[in-house]
Amino acid sequence: MELVRLACQLPEERRRSLSHWTCSELAREVVRSGLVEAISAQTVQRILQHHRLKPWRKQYWLRNKAPRDAEFIARTNEICELYTRVLDAHEMVLCVDEKTSIQPRPRLAPTKPAQPDRPVQVEHEYKRAGALQLFGAFDTRTGGVYGRTYRRKRQIEFIDFLEYLDRTIPASITVIHIVCDNVSVHHGKEVRAWLARHPRFQFHFLPVHCSWMNQVEQWFSILQSKRLAVADFEGLDDLAAQIDSFIAQWNEIAHPFNWTRQSFAKVLAKAEAALAKVA
């Protein structure tokens, strides 16, 4: 049982500079502590297996900084409504976010295409050549994407991206709903001043820790798998040009994602049940 108790402690509690226990390290620790004269890692593994313990495994979790309260339910219903209701002809809904730190990683030798019995070959070594920040907007009804790349991610770049949207989107669209997260870049003083001068832009902020509700994240995953999985670009200019090309080619076959009220049903039911218990 001492071994089990030890496995349920973090190594730091034993003043061991380890991120996690392994069977070998646990065996070494119980011997060092004088609990037994000798024990093998295999014996430790059998004991832990009996108690269903695997301290070498880890699982990330997120403590809610914001409670799933009435405000959370209201914001989620607001996003759900934007995604699912029939829009008027003068409206559009854009999901906006940034894909940050995209590196060109030019390879020391050219990437070779696939051949019979041989996959695409990518040189392991690469040079560092900076990084770009992609500001993207996904049209929830058409699937069309608006995107621009920048060297930095600040309010000034975000306002420039909004200016780009303002120039590009026809004046007949008099209400542009922007769905985005709560980072300061999206609601800083300079951005708020810009919005006051551009009333057709209406911002809707996601609940905290709910990036999964932002549809542009789905599109970013497509970009990552189809164009950025092999990072082999000559430099930042080439990377920017290739991202622009991918967006243009995507827009030729663009399609929306299938979001329905059922997409939000589970998280809303859980939040409403929790709120009912408090009440």
Say what the pLDDT of residue 144 is: 98
Beta strand spans in 20-174 (E): 91-102, 132-139, 145-150
Token representation of residue 270: 């859980």
Sequence-distant (6+) residues with CB within 8 A of 213 are 76, 79, 179, 206, 207, 264
| Topology classification of domain 70-103+131-229+254-273 | Nucleotidyltransferase; domain 5 (3.30.420)
Say what the pLDDT of residue 62 is: 58
Averaged confidence pLDDT in the chain? 93
Q: What percentage of the chain carries pLDDT values higher than 70?
A: 97
**pLDDT at residue 249 above 60?**
yes
pLDDT in tens, 131-175: 999 999 999 999 999 999 999 999 999 999 999 999 999 999 999
pLDDT in tens, 186-204: 999 999 999 999 999 999 9
Provide the b/e sequence for 97-117 (b: ≥16 CB within 10 Å).
bbbeebbbbbbeeeeeeeeee
- Across 46-58, average pLDDT: 93
Check: CB of residue 176 under 8 Å from CB of residue 87.
no
pTM exceeds 0.75: yes
Dihedral sign for Cα atoms in the order 67, 68, 70, 72: positive
Q: What percentage of the chain carries pLDDT values higher than 90?
A: 79
> pLDDT band at 271, cuts 50/70/90?
confident
Residues of the chain with CATH 3.30.420.10: 70-103+131-229+254-273
> pLDDT band at 61, cuts 50/70/90?
low
How is the chain split among helix, strand and coil, in percent rounded to 5? 45, 15, 40
Say what the pLDDT of residue 121 is: 92
Q: Which amino acid is at 6?
A: L
CA 168 from chain center: how many Å?
A: 27
